[in-house]
Amino acid sequence: VGPICVNGLLCLLGGDRSLLDFFTTSIGPDGLANIFSADNGTTTTHVNYMRQNGGPLAVTSPSAVLCVQPPIPTVVSRKTHSPGAGTFDVPLPLPPSSIGIECRTGGASGNHTLVLTFPLPVTFTTATVCSGTGSVSSTSGNTTNTITVNLTGVTNAQRLNVCLNNATDGTNTGTVTVPVGVLLGDTNADASVNSSDIGQTKSQSFHTVVQGNFREDVNIDGSINSSDIGLVKSKSFTALPP
């Protein structure tokens, strides 16, 4: 009721209200308090934020949390279909979206290339295969918007995670984790190789390799023919693990 007094405790000597304030506390999954309140000073109004850095926890089984989220990229698995057919990308969406599936061959050495594109230039310390079979052979693009991660020794029919460690865009910092499904011959990306994939590859036989059918060129030789059909057939009944 009445005007708001801005003189703090001095308002008790005759003001109508001591403060117009708000105060709220949120408990994180780590059991620590996150406290928000109004700024009571005479400068431009803003919200104060305080975070508990010690003392008793508010939960019995705390879990680690990342307060600052890592930079978020768009990610693709990129291969060049030669001779001269072009370069084509399989999208690799990040969680909570469904996993992207690379259905094309990695050759005898299991080589694949991931390209991560960020809204801002990003630096990172290392890139690793943090789960699954394979390793990082090289990277490029540190301090730029586009980072390339080359993989080798990647085996078929697996889910793996590739981690870009200590990635930062100057504001956000964290580990960027990219899930990848690798299933040779899974041209329709349903996580299994069966008659549907064989039929789909047959339907594109002798067609020019373009954006709409590059997945059927599973051996990435720049043409869709009996070699691709045979390769898909040879992987029948393989599937990604749950």
- Residues 184-216: tens digit of each pLDDT: 999 999 999 999 999 999 999 999 999 999 999
Output the pLDDT for position 45.
58
Answer yes or no: is pLDDT of 1 > 50. no
How many Å from the N-terminal Cα to the C-terminal Cα in the chain? 62
Output the pLDDT for position 97.
85
CA distance 90 to 97: 14
Output the pLDDT for position 69.
76
Q: Which DSSP string do the residues of 151-167 spell out, in sequence order?
A: EESPPSSEEEEEEEEEE
Output the pLDDT for position 44.
56
In whole numbers, what is the pLDDT of the chain averaged over residues? 90
Q: What phi and psi, each to the nearest 5 degrees, are found at residue 231?
A: -70, -40
Answer yes or no: is pLDDT of 16 > 60. no
Could you read off the pLDDT of 89-103 as tens digits, one per residue?
A: 999 999 888 999 999
